[in-house]
Amino acid sequence: MRRALALLSLAALAPAAALAQSASEVERCFQNPAACGQGSGQAGGGAPVAQTRPAAAPAADYATVLQSPEADRKRIQESLRTLDKYNGPIDGNLQSEATMKAIGDWQKGRGAHPVGKLTPQEAQQLNAEAAKAPIRRIAPPPQTAAAAPPAAQSNADALKALQARIAERRKAAEPKAEAAAQALIRDLKAYVAAGGKGVAGEQFAAFAKWYADTKAAGRTVGDIAPVIDDYGDAKAGVAVTSEVLFETKQNANDQSQCLVFAWIEGSPRRNAQVFSCNDVAAVEKWKTEQALRSAWR
């Protein structure tokens, strides 16, 4: 009988103990949330709480910027130059060694891994940072002593000085220019004497056509006289342009024809062209294409 009463007493006390333990757990979690779920790894003596792994971060998108329009890629290079990270050409090539190094330096300065390539978000941040960069002004060097201002030069004096410099350059270049023009005249006369055969026609196709048309019209070519139009260094060598006056005759009818011969000195002559003396625009275009630095004007 006594044993039965003891068992009933223990059964009555069990819910109270469980309630006390639950209240103690709630108070512990309220005072220290980080401690919840620790210890036995069970909540209220139940099953363990399931742990979930964080999702893997997506791969960085570099292709979007690398394949962006040329104008956008050039703007990135300009932004890098504004931030003193890049001093190469603005050509839109984001995969050049200089550009990738500049991007890496910029990323490193921001505490990021210097990949050398940009995500769209990084490109936007780079351009925004460059847009906020202050305009740099170059301070004049300190002067130890106040120098007297140079005397103003009149326009007439400046013109005379320029003419003197041109005359010196022309005097130095004149022998070579004259030799080049005379060599051309020899080839032209040899072509006419041979009835339309020789290097002059091979190098100057427009002259060969003009001679053939003149001959077909029954006209003969007489005197041939050159006047040097321009002379100087070009990107592919020494460039020469010379006005050549041809005297033609048919019976008692005399005519003059003026042609401009343009070429790069060599054997054979290169980039050889023939223009009418009236076609000034075409002659000047040829000089520009050859990057002629004149010693003649």
Q: Tell me, what's the pLDDT at 40?
A: 45
* Nearest C-alpha neighbor of 85 from the set 101, 74, 96, 73: 101
Q: pLDDT class for 51, splitting at 50, 70, 90?
A: low
Q: Tell me, what's the pLDDT at 13?
A: 46
10 burial (CB, 10 Å; 0-12 / 13-18 / 19+) is exposed
139 three-class SS: coil
192 burial (CB, 10 Å; 0-12 / 13-18 / 19+) is buried
- Asked if pLDDT for residue 33 goes beyond 80, the answer is no
Averaged over 158-174, what is the pLDDT?
78
Q: pLDDT class for 17, splitting at 50, 70, 90?
A: very low
Alpha carbon distance, N-terminus to C-terminus of the chain: 136
- Asked if pLDDT for residue 187 goes beyond 90, the answer is yes
- Asked if pLDDT for residue 31 goes beyond 90, the answer is no
Please report, rounded to a whole number, the percentage of residues in the chain having pLDDT higher than 90.
47
CATH classification number, 63-131, choose in 1.25.40, 1.10.10, 3.40.80, 1.10.101: 1.10.101
Averaged over 175-192, what is the pLDDT?
93
Q: For 224, list phi and psi in degrees, rounded to 5.
A: -130, 120
Element (H, E) at 243: strand 237-250
Residue type, 113: H
Averaged over 186-200, what is the pLDDT?
94
Averaged over 18-45, what is the pLDDT?
53
pTM (predicted TM-score): 0.47
State both tokens at 200. Answer: 């002059």
- Asked if pLDDT for residue 70 goes beyond 80, the answer is yes
Task: Give residue-wise pLDDT tens across range 96-120.
Answer: 999 999 999 989 888 888 989 999 9
Bridge partners (DSSP) of residue 231 are 240
Tell me where in the chain the CATH 1.10.101 domain(s) lie: 63-131
Q: Tell me, what's the pLDDT at 174?
A: 86
Q: pLDDT class for 143, splitting at 50, 70, 90?
A: low
- Asked if pLDDT for residue 44 goes beyond 50, the answer is no
- Asked if pLDDT for residue 5 goes beyond 70, the answer is no
State both tokens at 2. Answer: 């006594």
Averaged over 61-88, what is the pLDDT?
91
DSSP 43: S
Q: Tell me, what's the pLDDT at 159?
A: 73
Q: Tell me, what's the pLDDT at 7?
A: 44
Residue type, 216: A
Q: Tell me, what's the pLDDT at 43?
A: 44
Least confident of 69-78, 153-162, 244-253: 153-162
More confident residue, 258 or 149: 258
State both tokens at 123. Answer: 């490109």
Residue type, 143: Q
Contact partners, residue 99, CB within 8 Å, separation at least 6: 77, 80, 86, 88, 93
